[in-house]
Chain A
Amino acid sequence: MYLTLLRISLVEYLSYRLNFVLWRFRMMINIFIPIFLWSSVYQQEPAKREKIIAYFILFHVLYSFVYATRTHEIASQIQSGEIMNLLLKPISFFRYHFVRDLADKFLNLFFSLIEVAIIFWLLKQKQILLKYQVTNWLIFGYLVTVGLLINFFTSVLFSFIGFVSPEYWAPRFLFMITTHLFSGLFVPLDLLPRTLFEFLLYTPFPYFSYWATQVALGQSIEGNFLFKIISLSLFWTGVFFLMMKVLWNKLLQSFSFWGK
């Protein structure tokens, strides 16, 4: 069943080709801006320049995978009442949307890899420092999984605003901008002031894709610090999962679907 849903979601996505091309163009611009900005900052230091370009390239790939979601549709479906169609099906609501998200993620990943190849060619980037160690890959796999789960849960939670208000875009947009800012999309978090960096560790933002990027870049995170990252990421995943489940049950019971 989920394979059929995955296929349908992919086909559905590709039915608006112009939208698709323009969207990928926007993504390309998104990656070029920080790369050019930071390239000029480190113009005199080629080693650092190469490292930061590698960071943004990898972040772009992971961002495409982790952040890709279609759960924003849930809010409008709640407001229009279309959500009722899904509620009446013998299928898990969250699994349904997670699979739709996966379709989006695979598509994003595929095209972001092509874009990265273009960037490599344009910037004559030599390599990305990947540490080929099993433990690193395991940690990387864990961090990516946690990142996409946190993204899924928070995105669904923001869609629940549709239950109480038709004005669901503004808070979602605000959260998205905050996430971009504090998750390392524009500035690698280790370049931020130390106090801010330390503080951010206790927020969910670095666990979207920042640490996964760092691990993929070969930064060794070991011992107590690794334990801290794993515990905190697990904590936020659990918190958002519980919030999503509890709120879903409560809102569904109290929502009236009046006139919908």
Chain B
Amino acid sequence: MIEVKNLTKIYRSYQKTKNFLRDLFFRQSQETVALKNVSFKIKKNQFVGLVGPNGAGKTTLMKILSGILYPTAGEVRVLGYVPFEKKKTFLKQITFIMGQKTQLYWDLPSFETFNLLKTIYEVDQKVFEKTISHLSKILNCQDLLLKPVKHLSLGQRMKMELIAALIHQPKIIFLDEPTIGLDLFSQEAIRTFLKNYQKDFEATVVLTSHYLEDVKKLADRLIILNQGEIIFDDDWSAIRKRSSKKYLTIYLEKPVTKKILNELGEIVFFQFPKVVIKIKKIDLLEKIALINKKIPYLDLTIEEEKIEEVIKEILTGK
């Protein structure tokens, strides 16, 4: 479905100085490497999460895959097409949902945009009606279809954006920050919708989001990008294996000195009677034996390290 081989993207920008004339006639350019020799494949019906810090190259990668950007080097094939050529048959099979940009006509009801998209994508009238009715029912927004977009809340508008993007039932969906700025309830509604849509229509989805919750709940596969390079590409179980820490939460029976707790590992939280300690996974048995021997406690729980922290460790290389 998606095949990327040795993809590189270099941005050229112009430096501005305080000298207007120099900026105008002798401007200096500088190059920024956004993607460096990136290669991967995505199969049909996969939900892939692209994760990385700001400037890692996530959005650049999505823009290249959808055909907005022209790659500096390397090969990209999506559904067998070269995306930048923007063949109509290719564009009819993809969609790009940008949480921060709207494709709806601001002053008109969303239904007007849907009607136009129906004609652009040459969707059959019956299929169109069925799709709109189905999607608006799932998203619980039937009453919003005839309301001008400018009168919708951000969450309501996002629901309309989703319908607009899916009218032609695309095979590939690119999602860039689909839940940005939304409240928790709207975030949850959008996530449930996306997951169900992907299952029902067997779509391939590539998602970037700063809310790791989106990626955790939706993606089957995770690609971590850092400074334009892929530093992790696997499923969730693999990322669990990369976890090297555990958290011990102890409810103390009696107060103990900090010195004893320090022997166990890094104290994350300490307020009698609760104490949370971060330890290395390999030391677990040894530390539990130590607790049993030296610390009087009422309760002890062992927790996995949070995915966010594992990702942070992968990113920082620690």
Contacts and interface: CB of A to CB of B under 8 A. Distances in A.
Query: B-side binding surface: helix, strand, loop or mixed?
Result: mixed
A82 interface: yes
Given A82-B101, A257-B63, A258-B13, A88 B94 contact: yes
B116 A5 contact: yes
Interface in B66-93: 66-70, 84, 86, 88-89, 91-92
Interface residues of B, number: 33
A254 B68 CA distance: 11
Interface string A63-99: 0000000000000000011101101111100000000
Interface string B106-137: 01100011011001110000000000000000
Contacts of B190: none
Nearest to B100: A81
Interface in A1-52: 1, 4-5, 8, 11-12, 15-16
Interface in A211-260: 252-254, 256-258
B11 interface: yes
B84 to A, nearest CB: 8
A16 B107 contact: yes
Interface centre among B67, B96, B116, by most chain A C-beta atoms within 10 angstroms, is B116
Given A82-B101, A258-B11, A87 B108 contact: no
A80 B100 CA distance: 10
A87 B116 contact: no
Nearest to B174: A88
B244 to A, nearest CB: 35
Nearest to A13: B107
A82 B98 CA distance: 10
B75 to A, nearest CB: 17
B105 A1 contact: no
Interface in A179-229: none
A4 B98 contact: no
Contacts of A84: 63, 68, 96, 98, 101
Given A85-B103, A88-B68, A8 B108 contact: yes
Nearest to A9: B105
Contact of A81 (B84, B101, B113, B116): B101
Given A15-B107, A15-B108, A257-B63, A8 B116 contact: yes
Interface centre among B13, B98, B102, by most chain A C-beta atoms within 10 angstroms, is B98
Contact of B119 (A1, A12, A81): A1
Contacts of B112: 8, 11
Contacts of A5: 116, 119
Contacts of A85: 98, 101-103
B273 to A, nearest CB: 49
Contacts of A4: 115-116, 119
B101 A88 contact: no
A89 B119 contact: no
A253 B98 CA distance: 21
Contact of B11 (A11, A15, A91, A256): A256
B101 A90 contact: no
B120 A87 contact: no
B291 to A, nearest CB: 50
17 contacts: A1-B119, A5-B119, A8-B116, A81-B101, A84-B63, A85-B101, A85-B102, A87-B68, A88-B91, A89-B91, A89-B120, A90-B89, A90-B92, A90-B121, A253-B70, A256-B13, A258-B13
Interface of B: 11-13, 63, 66-70, 84, 86, 88-89, 91-92, 94-96, 98, 101-103, 105, 107-108, 112-113, 115-116, 119-121, 148
Interface of A: 1, 4-5, 8, 11-12, 15-16, 80-82, 84-85, 87-91, 252-254, 256-258
